[in-house]
Amino acid sequence: MFGFIRRFFKKRRELKKYQYGDIIWCDIKKYGDKFNFSEGHQKRPFLFVNYEKGIIYGYTLTHNDNLNSLSYVMQFKPFERVVLSCLFELRAKTYIEYFRKMPDDDLSRISKIIYNMHTNDKIRENILKHIIIDKNDIVLYQNDKYLVYAANSDSYTLYKITRNQNDLYVKNEKDDYYISTTPTIVKDNDSLIYVDTFKIDVAKDFNYLRLKKKKESTAKDNICPLKRGDVVKLKNRLVVLLEVDGDKITYTKLMSPDYIVKTTKYMGQAAINSVPEYKIKSLEHQIKKLEELGIINASS
């Protein structure tokens, strides 16, 4: 009897020492209606989450790689997965012994999955300590949310998540995001607070969208705002525009006309004046007539 009591209190003392990320062995035959463990599989490894008031909270590890429930495929062997669809609540007497610490990389990835599944502040705080900020994470920095575009050993490249619909649009499952194209470089990891992780490689997509928008913006800036009939100065002479097509302008001399028609790229010239449409048509008629007579080659 006394031996049982000593073992019981010894287990409780040991459990109080463990921290989130430790792996322990527990003896369990059944858990609710969903989990029935066959003989030979009742001594099970668990990712320790918390111990409070005689109850062990943890996620079971398994060799089964054909699970339909939420789980994380581990890099750490000999186990295949951590079943994350169920947070087990086990009595202290089920505890057998300590196994080892979960590797940091696996623990960080698991933590990102379960962080927002918990409401207990103490558990969330413990989970947060083991999250390694990486590309595609959403973090809080100076009270604003940011996308982590790149994570290096000495710095992080962030892009602010905004509500501005003129910024880049990114869809992440059911959520819509707008992301600024102005980078922020942060060197202090402690100033970043993990919030969530994009389920897609948004950093890769964002880079494509950012370059696409930059290209579109450049093209838009180069589109000629002038119109047919506007008079501009080119090479110190006045010309009248006969046609405007994107960033291309077609023109001919206005003063002392030579009736030669040329096309060039718009380079930001401003309209000085404009010529009425009837005069433009008269000028075009003269050009066509002279060309038909072979007096000029209008496109030379």
Dist. CA 159–CA 209, nearest whole Å = 13
Please provide the DSSP assignment of 134-191 as one string: -TTEEEEETTEEEEEEEE-SS-EEEEEEES-TTSEEEEETTEEEEEEEEEEEE--GGG
Averaged confidence pLDDT in the chain: 86
DSSP-assigned beta bridge partners for residue 240: 231, 252
Dist. CA 23–CA 25, nearest whole Å = 7
Task: List per-block mean pLDDT (blocks of 10 residues) for the chain, which spans 300 residues.
Answer: 62 90 93 80 91 93 71 82 91 93 94 92 92 94 93 91 85 82 87 90 76 65 82 90 88 86 87 90 87 70
pLDDT score recorded for residue 221: 59
pLDDT score recorded for residue 286: 87
Dist. CA 108–CA 236, nearest whole Å = 66
CA quadruple 206, 211, 215, 217: dihedral, nearest 10: 50
CB of 164 closer than 8 Å to CB of 202: no
Q: Is the pTM of this model over 0.75?
A: no
Dist. CA 146–CA 182, nearest whole Å = 11
The closest alpha carbon to 86, from 65, 123, 114, belongs to: 114
**210 CB-contact burial (10 Å; exposed 0-12 / middle 13-18 / buried 19+):** middle
DSSP-assigned beta bridge partners for residue 27: 43
Dist. CA 247–CA 266, nearest whole Å = 5
Name, in order, each residue with C-beta under 8 angstroms of 289's C-beta and a sequence gap of 6 or more.
none
CB of 56 closer than 8 Å to CB of 43: no
For 205-237, the pLDDT digits (tens) are 777 777 776 666 665 656 788 899 999 998 888
